Amino acid sequence: MATRRAVIMAAGAGALASGVPTSAAGTAGSDVLAVVEKSGHAVGFYETTSGRLLRKVALPDYPHEMVVDSQRRFAYVGHYGVRMSATAGEGGAAVFVVDLTGRTLARTIDTRPFNRVHGMGIDDRDRLYALSEEKAMLLGFDAPSTDQAPTRAVPAHGVKTHLFTLSRDGERAYVTGLLSHTVSLVRPHDASAPPLVVTPGQLPESSCLSRDEKTLFVGARKSSALVAVDARTMKVQRSRKVGGDPLRVYTVDDDRLLATDIVANTITLYSTALRPIRSLKLDGIPAAVSFHPHRPLAYVSQLGTNSVAIVDLERFAVVGGFDTGLEPDSSALLPTAP
C-alpha cells in the first residue's frame, strides 16, 4: 500500500508542479474529485486513480464550503473570504457557480449585504441554501443555476452561524452557532415559524441527520463530544465524550457515523448509538470528507500535508491519495458511472 500511495502522490505532485495539466479531459472511465482549496483560492479537479490535476478554477480569496446539484452540472461554492472562523474581517459576500462540465467559473451570485458566506446546502429539488455567518441569515435560491440574488432568507437564531444540516426536502435546517454554542432548527421556507434551539455542548460546528432524519448528530468541539438530538423536538437524547476535537461528523449508513478529529489526526467510525467502532490514524489533519455515491470509499481532505487520502470504508484503510493545492477542504466526487 505504501508503494502505491507513493506513486499516486508523485503523480499528483507532478501535476501541481507543472501548473498546466496535459489533458483536461482525464482518462476514460476515471472518477474525478472536485476539491475546494481554501488557501489555494481555487477548485481543483483531480483524477482519483492517478492523482493527476486536470484543471483548476481560480476563485477570489478563501472559498470554503461547496455543494453539487443532483445532475452534477453545477457546483456552488460559498465565498467566506477569510482563512478561518477565528480570522477577523468582513469576508466575502457571494456564491460562486462552477460549471462542472466545462470546469469554469460560470458566474457569481452577489449576496450583499449578507457576508462571510460559509455553510452550503442543496435539497432534493436542487434548491440552494447558503449561510451568512456574519448576519446570521440562511439564504435560499429557488433556481440557483439562474438566480441573480437570494430569493428568500430566514434568521438563523444563533451567533457566528457557521454550518448547517438540511433535510432532504429542504423544509428543515439545523444551524450551528459557534459563539452562542447552539443548534437552531429553522424553517427555510417559513420565516414565521418559531425556531427550536438547543445547546448540545461547547462550540458545536458540524452536524448530520440520520438516514431516517429522526436524529441529528452534532460534534461539540470544545466539549470533545458527539451528541444525539431528537430532530423534531431538539431535545438531547444522548452524548458521548470522544476526546480530541470532533470537527466534522457524517452519516455513513443506517448504522454508522464518521467523525474527524483534528487533534489526534484520526477518523473514527461510531455506531448511531455513539459507540466507537474503529479509528484510523492519518498523515495529515482531516479537514473534511466526501463519499463515493456508489462505492464504499471516503475522500478525506488533509491540512498540513495538502493532500487527499482515499479510505476504503470496508477495510477502513487508506488505499490511495494524491497531493492538492493549499488547504484542501470540502470536496465532491464526480463519478464516471454507477
Strands 128-132 and 137-141, by their bridges, are antiparallel
**Residue 240 corresponds to which amino acid?**
R
The pLDDT value given to residue 22: 35
DSSP assignment of 17-47 = HHSS-S-SS--TT--EEEEEETTTTEEEEEE
Mean pLDDT of the chain, nearest integer: 92
d(CA 188, CA 202): 25
The pLDDT value given to residue 338: 59
CA distances (Å), 71 to each of 99, 143, 170, in order? 12, 14, 17
The pLDDT value given to residue 14: 33
Average pLDDT for residues 270-296, to the nearest whole number?
A: 97
The pLDDT value given to residue 207: 98
Residue 18: which pLDDT band, with cuts at 50, 70 and 90?
very low
Average pLDDT for residues 310-338, to the nearest whole number?
A: 94
pLDDT (tens digit, 9 = 90+) per residue, 140-171? 999 999 999 999 999 999 999 999 999 999 99
Q: Which helix (H) or strand (E) holds 207?
A: strand 204-209
Q: Residue 6 in 3-state DSSP?
A: helix
* 230's grid cell: 431528537
pLDDT (tens digit, 9 = 90+) per residue, 60-112? 999 999 999 999 999 999 999 999 888 899 999 999 999 999 999 999 999 99
The pLDDT value given to residue 336: 85
pLDDT (tens digit, 9 = 90+) per residue, 172-209? 999 999 999 999 999 999 999 999 999 999 999 999 99
Average pLDDT for residues 306-319, to the nearest whole number?
A: 97
Average pLDDT for residues 36-50, to the nearest whole number?
A: 97
The pLDDT value given to residue 15: 35
The pLDDT value given to residue 30: 87
Residue 148: exposure state from Cβ atoms within 10 A (0-12, 13-18, ≥19) = exposed
